[in-house]
């Protein structure tokens, strides 16, 4: 395989709050290659959004990237080294804030946010906002940028783009606004687009339209995508490879087909089992027990052990790093679960433990008391 | 709806309010104890004189009749006759209003020009020294009586340092012949500005402080907006985000506050005019009250209401100009 | 819970709730200008007192013990319908018979007392619980309002209910913010159950929850339904959830009900093009599935001035050809695509050949239709887009039976034996056949499909 | 017909919601007090307001019960001209500049030889009374009008709002002056007048609060559960509207003190010889050149008092809505 476009190594982002340190992203690694759509899937609180803002170094205070490496096309977006005083400090080749702004954000990596209603500035015209971003990131003159903006609006299916160019965001429906945001991302002709739950707020029919449009345009422009979502159906529909996040970690990574048909991690399996299906009637749902613990005080060992039906004592003690479980020659399929032999920590000999999932008081109780 | 139609619509909306203002002032003026005739003619007037005066001012007719007469008078631009000055009320007002407007508008300009940068810097450097200084300044500003600031300014800058004159406010467009020591129009303007400085600061400080406070919190909120995040993600420079993306949205609550601050400022003008002995609307209403000049009281009060309503319409239109959601219908 | 069971005068399977020709319109004016609104009733400023027709002419029944799923996209009026059914909103017209009594005609105290039998669960777990009230009193409040039990009895019952919905009774003294979204929805359930109602309207109760939590809550709701013999009107935009929980499913579009049938029938044999489109649009959690097909185009029209006839016709992929023309299906669908493209100004070019190549490559209509298309192309060539749009819309889209008549049919189901209502003119022949068959059998089927105005 | 809420509100991960495992109530009086205690500016506000109020209470006791006997016993009468007239003495420490200072008069004497410090002390009573009373009138009036208007809506709302808007449309100092001219120039009418002019402020606040709370799901839930209107207002709407009203009331006390000082300055309000700050400033105007400190002290007293209320209000705001400043 060629060099990855984007490579993330052991990325850690933490929030320093009054109540303690929230380890929102805790050592995730993944690659994105040219022309593919990589999924980042997980429930609320898994740290997906923090992970994506970390990629652009846009984490707001009190959050901070505290460790790891982000490399994009050979440039170091983030990287630390040990300073003279033993404290980590940014490496020399790490891009400065100004370089990030001028070379990376928008120009190389664009982002589509989740909330189309809030992301556009209410007091400027839609076209004006689009034009500004094109001007900044493609070195076009104002007139050329406007032409390009109108062309892009047409491309994403905005009717009568010439006249809508001068309208304000509140005159657009939610689906239309999301199209505008997609137009912004594409118009800057970046190599990578991060789509942060772009269809979550939309109706299914609109979501369908937008996903179809994105797949078409992705082929046309050969842009890579990181597609962040909580919806396994969307993953199944558009992603090539998938990373599943749970509580700040990537617990499984594989090609999309393998994720659904050769599921390795119990969390992924549980997530799939808990979903009602539109194409067949499921009479009994099998929900994941309990709720996701807070990232401020994650469970010891495997973070999923408190809700895992396969949990054993060793799960409470050993924290598994994701390992490749695929056979040689097969595409990578990694999972972070000690029940696989590759981990060699004596899962089979370990005694099953009682968790919410394996017994105990009825479901869904007290995240506050989950870990005593 | 376009901006023009929105403006017309706001003007139309203000008519019932103006009628309401007239009603209130008429009601209050009627409650005033004491006999104006007595004030005019002394304690023992001749009977026919009294009747003549009463007939002239319609004092012999019942209240509701006088109200209707007054209302139709206002509609046709007749605010009645001042007993004290023995001149039409409108004439007195037109004589005094320009000074008050000159003072109030200048005070607002002073407030806006100082407050907006202060608030923006404060928001940008939140919880840093610049922010603390700006917050303390604005806290003192909202807590200080404007007339006391006037007194202090006079003591320091007029009496001790002698930099500014302590009383009076000539208009910049006054005839040079009327202004002592001025021969050309330019000198008149200089004299006028020289006189303006202290009352403007005294009256504008409260507005400055209020605008600073709201500008700060509004900018802080705007800077946390999703659209700011988007602009950052597309490589827009931080200074442009502050100047353009966050700033324009943040001005909406500021404009609202400016509109509402007009009420305080016009009231404050009464005090400021008293402190600096400026012959404006404020002194006029106090004179009218001290002399129980009914129609002048009503006229001046009404005029204060009109000034406020017009000011609010101006700010509303400014709001609509910035926020397209107002004039072009909401979502 | 002795002595708390309500009077069960409606037997299982009989209609508990009958909704007839229900309409709810909203005033669209007022409150438009924030800030210093000085006055709003001034005559010479132009205002359009337009109504938002949120729910129009909806009829259906809900049988005791069943779950009726109500599905539709945002803005289709499903939440308004729910609130109108519960009489939280006053219907503009129509009736809601609950246990035989028309809720539309009562108000005040009698209505308040009725509320003991019908409860509601809201969508947003954040805002549906008063942040300043502890969970215990929240659950007790409805009991108190209806004078059930004394203080101690209420507390005991509240704790019992908390346990029933899967919470710890110890949480009685906690404030809502201490709970997660799923747990708050459970508190909502406990509150709704506290007065032992017959009927619960669930307005998107799980759409704000994560998938795994969603399943937990759905399971609890089903268990409670069995235990307390509840009837649900379950509103959702997620067809997967609807398919899981409902017995029968109603589909709404732009304020009207377009299809109502048993669950299997609706999902496996959908008759209305909108239902079909909706089902096609759902993504399937399976990378090997074909994905979505034939997506809808365009946006939902405004409910202020909805399309005449069938409200879906402006987006319908299978609009019926006006009788005046005799085009082939391919020709007609090209005409339709062209008409909509012109309406949306979806292309720039004014060149006839280019347009023809793009829209009429495979099939060009002849005859009258061909002349009209020519004329429209002439308008476009002259940059008279408005004229072209008007010509095409009037001659084609507005001439269709879908635009001139409101559809309402009942067809024979393929799955199960329930009734299948569908508001699409394309089912007309099937409906006539079904009607004839029914008459032939002369068997009075139980009233299930609502007030169906089968064809003329 | 709300849009579907987003199920992915990542509250934990984006760090905006802290407090894992915290079961402490984030509502209620106790919690508010705790928050206020954490905030040093709010604490300063509490101390200042408490201190000034204490002085006012002491002054009031002496005035109502002892008719200034206590003042006369320890210091000088705040109202009587002294037997031995020492006009316009400068404050202690500035003797060299202005002539002989007298140690018994720490802030000097006024134009009639009365001790400025004692008059300031007793002026506190008026300021505080007026601040609380006027705000009370505005609060009660505004709450009633706003709550009724907001809850019932319709024509009741229209009529009430038109009236309050009209009141608001006359600059309030002008309105109070006109009001006092009509009804009486003394302090009572100053309080009532200022109270009336602050009705629109509270009305606006309460009404918007009520209108927004009325739309909350928990109100609809209570209605759907069959809770009576009265109980909905008492148990849900009022408790949930309380916080911003408390903040506004605190700030409004400061505003009222400023307005009443302005009125006294113009000669409306407490009449001589009753000591009030505004009236002292008014008197000092004629002696700005010979006795500049005469103008200084009353203004400082107003400033400190109003700052106290303002920082208390700001502190309460932060405690009740930590969104902006933390």
pLDDT per residue as tens digits for the range D141-167: 988 888 888 877 778 888 888 888 888
Pair B280, B189 in one domain: yes
**CB atoms B234 and A110 under 8 Å:** yes
Question: C104: which 2 tokens?
Answer: 């539309």
Let me know if residue C140 belongs to a domain.
Answer: yes
Let me know if residue D182 belongs to a domain.
Answer: yes
Which of A279-283, A284-288, B228-232, D284-288 ranks highest by mean pLDDT?
Answer: B228-232
Task: For residue range C377-432, list pLDDT tens digits in order.
Answer: 888 888 888 888 888 888 888 888 888 888 888 888 888 888 899 889 888 888 88
Residue in B closest to A134 by C-alpha? B234
Task: For residue range A151-193, list pLDDT tens digits in order.
Answer: 889 888 888 888 889 998 888 888 888 889 989 998 988 999 9
Which residue has tokens 């108190």?
A: C144
CB A50 within 8 A of CB A59: yes
Q: In which band, very low, low, confident or very high, does the pLDDT at C442 lie, cut at 50, 70 and 90?
A: low
Task: Indicate whether D252 pLDDT > 80.
Answer: yes
CB C247 within 8 A of CB C227: no
- Rounded distance between C-alpha atoms, residue C113 and residue C134, angstroms: 24
B15 touches chain C (CB under 8 A): yes
Q: How many Cβ pairs within 8 Å bridge chains B and D? A: 147
Nearest to C208 among D7, D26, D236 (CB): D7
**CB atoms D18 and A18 under 8 Å:** yes
- Rounded distance between C-alpha atoms, residue C419 and residue C431, angstroms: 11
Q: Which domain holds residue C392?
A: 329-399
Pair C237, C345 in one domain: no
Task: Indicate whether C113 pLDDT > 80.
Answer: yes
**CB atoms C38 and B319 under 8 Å:** no
**CB atoms C39 and B16 under 8 Å:** yes
- Rounded distance between C-alpha atoms, residue B212 and residue B265, angstroms: 16
Pair C72, C215 in one domain: yes
Task: For residue range A222-231, list pLDDT tens digits in order.
Answer: 899 999 998 8
Task: Indicate whether D23 pLDDT > 60.
Answer: no
- The mean predicted confidence, pLDDT, of chain A is 85
- Rounded distance between C-alpha atoms, residue B151 and residue D230, angstroms: 52
Let me know if residue D92 belongs to a domain.
Answer: no
> Which residues in C lie closer than 8 A to residue D228 (C-beta atoms)?
112, 145
Q: What are residue B175's phi and psi, to 5 degrees?
A: -70, 130
Pair B71, B128 in one domain: no
- Rounded distance between C-alpha atoms, residue D108 and residue D102, angstroms: 7
Q: What is the mean pLDDT of residues B85-96?
A: 90
**CB atoms D169 and B309 under 8 Å:** yes
pLDDT of residue A356: 60
Residue in B closest to A56 by C-alpha? B233
Nearest to A19 among D7, D14, D18 (CB): D18
D228 touches chain C (CB under 8 A): yes
Q: Considering only CB atoms, which residues of chain C are within 8 Å of chain B?
A: 32-40, 42, 44-46
Pair C335, C231 in one domain: no
Q: What are residue A105's phi and psi, to 5 degrees?
A: -65, 125
Let me know if residue A326 belongs to a domain.
Answer: yes
Q: In which band, very low, low, confident or very high, does the pLDDT at C237 lie, cut at 50, 70 and 90?
A: confident
Which residue has tokens 């009230």?
A: C133
Task: Indicate whether C324 pLDDT > 70.
Answer: yes
Cβ neighbours for C15, distance < 8 A, ≥ 6 positions apart = C61, C62, C63, C64, C97, C447
Q: What is the mean pLDDT of residues B42-70?
A: 75
Task: Indicate whether D95 pLDDT > 60.
Answer: no
Task: Indicate whether C33 pLDDT > 60.
Answer: no
Let me know if residue D35 belongs to a domain.
Answer: no
Q: What is the mean pLDDT of residues A71-75?
A: 89
Task: Indicate whether A357 pLDDT > 60.
Answer: no
State the total domains in chain D. Answer: 1
Task: For residue range C172-225, list pLDDT tens digits in order.
Answer: 888 888 888 888 899 999 999 999 899 999 998 888 888 878 888 898 899 999
**CB atoms A106 and B245 under 8 Å:** no
Sign of CA dihedral D300, D305, D307, D308: positive
**CB atoms D284 and B151 under 8 Å:** yes
Nearest to B235 among A105, A120, A181 (CB): A105
Q: How many Cβ pairs within 8 Å bridge chains B and C? A: 37
pLDDT of residue A194: 93
Residue in A closest to D17 by C-alpha? A17
pLDDT of residue A244: 94
**Residue A63 C-alpha, separation from nearest chain B C-alpha, in angstroms:** 14
- Rounded distance between C-alpha atoms, residue B151 and residue C203, angstroms: 64
Pair B38, B118 in one domain: no
Pair C340, C242 in one domain: no
D183 touches chain B (CB under 8 A): yes
Pair B52, B194 in one domain: no
Pair B148, B282 in one domain: yes
Q: What is the mean pLDDT of residues A113-126?
A: 87
Touching partners of D (3+ C-beta pairs < 8 Å): A, B, C
Q: What is the mean pLDDT of residues C8-31?
A: 77
Look at strands C256-262 and C248-253 and give their pairing. Answer: antiparallel
- Rounded distance between C-alpha atoms, residue C216 and residue C244, angstroms: 13
Let me know if residue D31 belongs to a domain.
Answer: no
State the total domains in chain C. Answer: 2
**CB atoms D1 and C114 under 8 Å:** no
Angstrom CA distances, A344 to A28, A319, A320, stand at 22, 12, 11
Sheet holding A6-17, edge to edge: A20-32, A6-17, A63-72, A75-78
**CB atoms A175 and C299 under 8 Å:** yes
**Residue C193 C-alpha, separation from nearest chain D C-alpha, in angstroms:** 10
Cβ neighbours for A185, distance < 8 A, ≥ 6 positions apart = A110, A111, A112, A193, A195
If one counts every other C-beta atom within 10 angstroms of the C-beta of residue A230, the result is: 22
Angstrom CA distances, B284 to B37, B84, B89, B300, stand at 20, 11, 10, 7
Let me know if residue A127 belongs to a domain.
Answer: no
Question: D273: which 2 tokens?
Answer: 């010889």
**CB atoms A22 and D12 under 8 Å:** yes
- Rounded distance between C-alpha atoms, residue D23 and residue D19, angstroms: 9
Q: How many Cβ pairs within 8 Å bridge chains C and D? A: 106
**CB atoms A203 and C345 under 8 Å:** no
CB D244 within 8 A of CB D208: no
Question: A252: which 2 tokens?
Answer: 């499984």
Let me know if residue B237 belongs to a domain.
Answer: no
Q: What is the mean pLDDT of residues D299-318?
A: 88
Residue in B closest to A54 by C-alpha? B233
Pair B67, B163 in one domain: no
**CB atoms D302 and B147 under 8 Å:** no
Task: Indicate whether A372 pLDDT > 50.
Answer: no
- Rounded distance between C-alpha atoms, residue C328 and residue C281, angstroms: 27
pLDDT of residue D144: 85
Rg (CA), chain C: 26
Pair B164, B268 in one domain: yes
**CB atoms A105 and B227 under 8 Å:** no
Pair C21, C161 in one domain: yes
> Which residues in A lie closer than 8 A to residue B252 (C-beta atoms)?
123
**CB atoms A170 and B325 under 8 Å:** yes
Let me know if residue A284 belongs to a domain.
Answer: yes
**Residue D4 C-alpha, separation from nearest chain A C-alpha, in angstroms:** 6
Pair B127, B183 in one domain: yes
pLDDT of residue C8: 52
**CB atoms A159 and C264 under 8 Å:** no
Judged by DSSP in three states, A6 sits in strand
Task: Indicate whether C47 pLDDT > 50.
Answer: no
Helix, strand, coil fractions of chain B, as percent rounded to 5: 80, 0, 20
pLDDT of residue D308: 92
State the total domains in chain B. Answer: 2
**Residue A15 C-alpha, separation from nearest chain C C-alpha, in angstroms:** 21
Pair C240, C341 in one domain: no
Let me know if residue D109 belongs to a domain.
Answer: no
Where is average pLDDT lowest: A203-207, C59-63, D46-50? A203-207
Q: What is the mean pLDDT of residues D79-95?
A: 65
**Residue D20 C-alpha, separation from nearest chain A C-alpha, in angstroms:** 6
Task: Indicate whether D109 pLDDT > 80.
Answer: no
Q: What is the mean pLDDT of residues B164-178?
A: 84
CATH number of the domain residue C230 falls in: 3.40.50.300
C178 touches chain D (CB under 8 A): yes
Q: How many Cβ pairs within 8 Å bridge chains A and C? A: 166
Pair B102, B84 in one domain: no
Question: A251: which 2 tokens?
Answer: 């617990």
C246, C270, C292: which is the final residue of a domain?
C246
Pair B62, B122 in one domain: no
> Which residues in A lie closer than 8 A to residue C212 (C-beta atoms)?
43, 270-271, 274, 287-288
Window 188-217 of A: residues touching C by CB (8 A cutoff) are: 203-209, 211-212
Nearest to D3 among A49, A62, A201 (CB): A201
Pair B262, B155 in one domain: yes
Short-list C225, C333, C316, CA closest to C278? C316
Q: Which domain holds residue B130?
A: 92-210+254-290
C196 touches chain D (CB under 8 A): no
State the total domains in chain A. Answer: 1
Q: In which band, very low, low, confident or very high, does the pLDDT at B216 lie, cut at 50, 70 and 90?
A: very high
pLDDT of residue B141: 92
> Which residues in A lie closer than 8 A to residue B231 (C-beta atoms)?
121
Task: Indicate whether C40 pLDDT > 70.
Answer: no
CATH number of the domain residue D214 falls in: 1.10.3720.10
pLDDT of residue D325: 37
Task: For residue range A182-212, list pLDDT tens digits in order.
Answer: 899 989 889 999 999 888 878 888 888 888 8
A295 touches chain D (CB under 8 A): yes
The answer to whether the pTM exceeds 0.90 is no
Let me know if residue C419 belongs to a domain.
Answer: no
Residue in B closest to D306 by C-alpha? B143
Task: Indicate whether D281 pLDDT > 60.
Answer: yes
Let me know if residue A157 belongs to a domain.
Answer: no
pLDDT of residue D26: 54
Let me know if residue D33 belongs to a domain.
Answer: no
Angstrom CA distances, C17 to B43, B219, C85, C422, stand at 84, 52, 9, 20
Q: What is the mean pLDDT of residues B132-150?
A: 91
Let me know if residue C151 belongs to a domain.
Answer: yes
Q: In which band, very low, low, confident or very high, does the pLDDT at D13 lie, cut at 50, 70 and 90?
A: very low
Q: Which domain holds residue A293?
A: 277-371
pLDDT of residue D236: 86
Task: Indicate whether C101 pLDDT > 60.
Answer: yes
Let me know if residue B309 belongs to a domain.
Answer: no
Let me know if residue C450 belongs to a domain.
Answer: no
DSSP string, D194-207: HHHHHHHHHHHHHH
Preceding amide of D273 cis, omega within 30:
yes
Pair B130, B270 in one domain: yes
Let me know if residue A192 belongs to a domain.
Answer: no
Cβ neighbours for A122, distance < 8 A, ≥ 6 positions apart = A168, A169, A170, B227, B249, B323, B324, B325
Let me know if residue D278 belongs to a domain.
Answer: yes
**Residue A307 C-alpha, separation from nearest chain D C-alpha, in angstroms:** 18
Nearest to D226 among C39, C74, C112 (CB): C112
pLDDT of residue C2: 39
Q: Percent of chain D, pLDDT > 90?
A: 11
- Rounded distance between C-alpha atoms, residue A222 and residue A36, angstroms: 8
Task: For residue range A301-356, list pLDDT tens digits in order.
Answer: 888 888 888 888 888 888 888 888 888 888 889 998 888 877 777 788 888 877 66
Suggest the residue from D2, D22, D225 to mutate for an interface test with chain C (most C CBs closer than 10 A).
D225
CB D60 within 8 A of CB D122: no
Crossing angle of helices C135-145/C151-164, nearest 10°?
Answer: 120
> Which residues in B lie closer than 8 A to residue A132 (C-beta atoms)?
236
Residue in D closest to C125 by C-alpha? D217
**CB atoms C145 and D231 under 8 Å:** yes
**Residue A96 C-alpha, separation from nearest chain D C-alpha, in angstroms:** 24
Task: For residue range C300-310, list pLDDT tens digits in order.
Answer: 888 888 888 88
Q: Which residue has the higher pLDDT, B116 or D99?
A: B116
Let me know if residue A289 belongs to a domain.
Answer: yes
Let me know if residue A66 belongs to a domain.
Answer: no
**Residue C33 C-alpha, separation from nearest chain B C-alpha, in angstroms:** 7
Q: Which residue has the higher pLDDT, C370 or D63?
A: C370
């Amino acid at each position: 395989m060629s060099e990855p476009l984007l490579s993330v190594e052991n990325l850690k982002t933490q929030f320093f709050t009054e109540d303690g340190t929230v380890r929102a992203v805790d050592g995730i690694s993944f690659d994105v290659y040219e022309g593919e759509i990589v999924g980042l899937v997980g429930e609320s609180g898994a740290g997906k959004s923090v992970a994506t803002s970390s990629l652009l170094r846009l984490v707001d205070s009190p959050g901070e990237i505290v460790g790891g490496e982000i490399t994009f096309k050979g440039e170091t977006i983030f990287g630390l080294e040990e300073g003279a005083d033993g404290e980590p400090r940014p490496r020399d080749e790490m891009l400065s804030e100004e370089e990030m702004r001028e070379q990376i954000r928008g120009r190389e990596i664009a982002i589509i946010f989740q909330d189309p209603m809030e992301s556009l500035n209410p007091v400027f015209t839609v076209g004006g906002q689009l034009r500004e971003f094109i001007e900044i990131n493609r070195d076009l003159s104002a007139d050329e940028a406007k032409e390009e903006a109108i062309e892009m609006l047409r491309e994403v299916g905005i009717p009568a783009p010439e006249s809508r160019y001068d309208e304000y965001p509140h005159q657009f429906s939610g689906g239309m606004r999301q199209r505008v945001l997609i137009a912004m991302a594409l118009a800057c002709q970046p190599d990578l687009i991060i789509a942060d739950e772009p269809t979550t707020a939309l109706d299914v029919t609109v979501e369908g339209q937008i996903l179809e449009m994105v797949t078409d345009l992705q082929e046309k422009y050969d842009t890579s995508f990181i597609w962040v979502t909580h919806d396994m159906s969307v993953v199944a529909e558009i992603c090539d490879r998938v990373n599943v996040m749970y509580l700040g970690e990537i617990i499984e990574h594989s090609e999309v087909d393998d994720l659904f048909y050769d599921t390795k991690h119990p969390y992924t399996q549980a997530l799939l089992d808990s979903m009602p299906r539109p194409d067949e009637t499921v009479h009994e749902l099998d929900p994941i027990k309990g709720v996701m613990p807070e990232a401020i005080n994650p469970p010891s060992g495997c973070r999923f052990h408190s809700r895992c039906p396969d949990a054993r004592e060793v799960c409470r003690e050993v924290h598994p790093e994701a390992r490749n479980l695929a056979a040689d020659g097969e595409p990578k399929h990694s999972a972070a679960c000690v029940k696989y032999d590759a981990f060699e920590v004596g899962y089979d000999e370990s005694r099953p433990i009682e968790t919410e999932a394996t017994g105990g008081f009825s479901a869904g109780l007290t995240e506050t008391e989950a870990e005593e | 709806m376009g901006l023009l139609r929105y403006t017309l619509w706001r003007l139309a909306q203000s008519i019932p309010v103006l009628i309401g203002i007239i009603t209130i002032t008429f009601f209050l003026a009627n409650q005033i104890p004491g006999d104006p005739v007595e004030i005019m003619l002394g304690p023992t007037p001749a009977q026919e004189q009294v009747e003549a005066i009463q007939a002239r001012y319609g004092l012999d007719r019942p209240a509701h009749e006088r109200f209707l007469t007054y209302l139709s008078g206002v509609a046709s631009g007749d605010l009645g006759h001042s007993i004290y000055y023995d001149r039409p009320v409108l004439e007195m007002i037109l004589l005094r209003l320009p000074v008050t407007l000159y003072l109030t508008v200048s005070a607002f300009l002073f407030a806006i020009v100082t407050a907006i940068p202060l608030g923006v810097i404060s928001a940008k450097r939140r919880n840093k020294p610049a922010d603390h200084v700006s917050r303390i300044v604005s806290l003192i500003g909202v807590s200080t009586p404007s007339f006391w600031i006037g007194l202090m300014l006079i003591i320091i800058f007029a009496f001790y340092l002698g930099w500014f004159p302590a009383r009076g406010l000539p208009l910049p467009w006054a005839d040079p012949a009327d202004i002592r020591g001025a021969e050309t129009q330019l000198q008149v303007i200089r004299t006028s500005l020289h006189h303006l400085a202290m009352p403007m600061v005294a009256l504008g400080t409260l507005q400055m402080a209020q605008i600073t406070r709201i500008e700060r919190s509004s900018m802080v909120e705007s800077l946390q907006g999703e659209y700011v995040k988007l602009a950052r993600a597309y490589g827009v420079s931080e200074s442009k985000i502050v100047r353009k993306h966050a700033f324009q949205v943040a001005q909406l609550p500021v404009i609202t506050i400016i509109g509402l601050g007009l009420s305080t400022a016009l009231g404050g003008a009464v005090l400021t005019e008293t402190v600096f002995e400026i012959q404006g609307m404020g002194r006029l209403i106090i004179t009218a009250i001290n002399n129980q000049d009914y129609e002048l009281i009503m006229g001046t009060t009404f005029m204060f209401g009109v000034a406020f309503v017009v000011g609010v319409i101006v700010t509303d239109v400014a709001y609509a100009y910035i926020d397209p959601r107002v004039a072009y219908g909401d979502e | 819970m002795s002595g708390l069971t309500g009077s069960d005068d409606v037997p299982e399977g009989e209609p508990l709730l009958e909704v007839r020709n229900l309409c709810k319109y909203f005033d669209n004016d007022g409150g438009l200008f924030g800030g210093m609104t000085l006055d709003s009733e001034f005559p010479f400023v132009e205002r359009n007192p337009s109504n938002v027709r949120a729910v129009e002419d909806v009829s259906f029944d809900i049988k005791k013990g069943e779950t009726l799923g109500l599905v539709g996209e945002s803005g289709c009026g499903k939440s308004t319908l729910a609130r109108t059914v519960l009489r939280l909103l006053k219907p503009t017209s129509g009736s809601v018979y609950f246990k035989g009594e028309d809720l539309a005609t009562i108000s005040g105290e009698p209505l308040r007392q009725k509320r003991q039998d019908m409860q509601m669960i809201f969508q947003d777990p954040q805002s549906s619980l008063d942040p300043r009230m502890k969970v215990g009193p929240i659950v007790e409040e409805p009991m108190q309002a209806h004078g059930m039990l004394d203080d101690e009895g209420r507390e005991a019952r509240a704790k019992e209910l908390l346990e029933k919905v899967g919470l710890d009774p110890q949480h009685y003294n906690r404030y809502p913010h201490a709970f997660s979204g799923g747990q708050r929805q459970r508190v909502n359930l406990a509150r709704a159950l506290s007065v032992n109602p017959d009927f619960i309207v669930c307005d998107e109760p799980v759409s704000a929850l994560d998938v795994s939590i969603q399943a937990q809550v759905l399971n609890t709701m089903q268990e409670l339904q069995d235990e307390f013999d509840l009837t649900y009107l379950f509103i959702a935009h997620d067809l997967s959830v609807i398919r899981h929980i409902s017995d029968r499913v109603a589909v709404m579009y732009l304020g009207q009900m377009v299809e109502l049938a048993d669950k299997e029938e609706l999902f496996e044999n959908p008759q209305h093009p909108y239902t079909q489109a909706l089902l096609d649009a759902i993504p399937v959690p399976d990378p090997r599935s074909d994905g979505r097909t034939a997506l809808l185009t365009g946006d939902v029209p405004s409910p202020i001035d909805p399309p005449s006839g069938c409200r879906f016709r402006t987006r319908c992929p299978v609009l019926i050809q006006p009788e005046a023309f005799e085009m082939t299906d391919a020709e007609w669908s090209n005409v339709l695509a062209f008409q909509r493209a012109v309406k949306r100004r979806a292309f720039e070019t004014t060149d006839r050949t280019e347009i023809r190549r793009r829209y009429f490559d495979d099939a060009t209509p002849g005859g009258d239709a061909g002349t009209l298309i020519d004329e429209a192309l002439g308008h476009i060539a002259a940059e008279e887009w408005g004229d072209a749009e008007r010509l095409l819309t009037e001659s084609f889209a507005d001439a269709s039976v879908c635009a001139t008549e409101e559809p309402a049919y009942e067809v024979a189901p393929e799955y199960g034996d329930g009734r299948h209502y569908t508001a699409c003119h394309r089912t007309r022949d099937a409906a006539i056949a079904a009607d004839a068959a029914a008459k032939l059998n002369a068997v009075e089927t139980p009233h299930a499909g609502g007030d169906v105005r089968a064809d003329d | 017909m709300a849009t579907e809420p987003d199920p992915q509100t990542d509250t934990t991960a984006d760090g905006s919601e802290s407090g894992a495992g915290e079961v402490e109530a984030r509502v209620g009086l106790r919690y508010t007090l705790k928050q206020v205690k954490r905030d040093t500016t709010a604490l300063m506000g509490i101390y200042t307001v408490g201190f000034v109020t204490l002085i006012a209470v002491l002054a009031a006791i002496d005035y109502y019960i002892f008719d200034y006997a206590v003042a006369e016993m320890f210091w000088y009468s705040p109202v009587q001209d002294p037997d031995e007239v020492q006009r316009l003495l400068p404050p202690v420490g500035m003797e060299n500049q202005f002539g002989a200072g007298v140690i018994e008069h720490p802030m000097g004497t006024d134009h009639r030889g009365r001790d400025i410090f004692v008059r300031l002390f007793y002026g506190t009573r008026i300021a505080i009374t007026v601040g609380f009373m006027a705000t009370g009138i505005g609060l009660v009036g505004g709450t009633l009008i706003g709550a009724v208007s907001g809850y019932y809506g319709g024509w009741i709302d229209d009529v009430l709002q038109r009236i309050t808007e009209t009141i608001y449309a006359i600059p309030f100092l002008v309105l109070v002056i006109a009001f006092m001219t009509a009804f009486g120039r003394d302090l009572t009418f100053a309080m009532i007048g200022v109270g009336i002019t602050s009705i629109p402020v509270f009305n606006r606040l309460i009404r918007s609060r009520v209108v927004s709370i009325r739309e909350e799901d928990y109100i609809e839930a209570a209605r759907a559960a069959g809770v009576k209107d009265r109980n909905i207002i008492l148990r849900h709407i009022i408790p949930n509207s309380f916080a911003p009203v408390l903040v506004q009331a605190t700030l409004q006390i400061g505003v009222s003190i400023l307005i009443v000082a302005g009125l006294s300055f113009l000669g409306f309000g407490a009449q001589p010889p009753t000591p009030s700050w505004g009236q002292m400033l008014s008197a000092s105007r004629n002696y700005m050149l010979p006795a500049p400190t005469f103008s200084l002290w009353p203004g400082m007293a107003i400033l400190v008092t109003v700052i106290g209320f303002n920082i208390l209000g700001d502190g309460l705001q932060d405690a009740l809505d930590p969104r902006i400043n933390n």
